[in-house]
Amino acid sequence: MVIREVTANEYLVVDQQTLAEAGLKGRLRLVVQPGEIRILPEARPDLEKIVDELVGCLGQGPAEEYDFNLKIGGLYEAR
């Protein structure tokens, strides 16, 4: 463990080398709580696992058997 003391006047910058030393790269999550800020790797959900869990709500077959014929019109729009 390496402890670095810094003074945060207006911005607090964590350089790439420090992130690499912590094994953090790519997309990150900031968890902000009173007196504490944690930097974590972004948790990527296993979408196939989630769909398989939801299959029980739709029927008994595997997720691959469902075709909802959704047409994507934009980032957050399914028609």
Residue range 39-52, pLDDT digits in tens: 998 877 777 777 77
pLDDT at 5: 84
Q: Which residue has the higher pLDDT, 51 or 68?
A: 51
pLDDT at 79: 53
Contact 61, 46 (CB under 8 A): no
Q: Enumerate long-range contacts of 17-26, CB under 8 Å, 24 or more apart.
A: none
Alpha-carbon distance of 7 to 12, in angstroms, equals 8
pLDDT at 20: 92
Q: Which residue has the higher pLDDT, 26 or 66?
A: 26
Report which DSSP code applies to 44. P
Whole-model pTM over 0.85: no
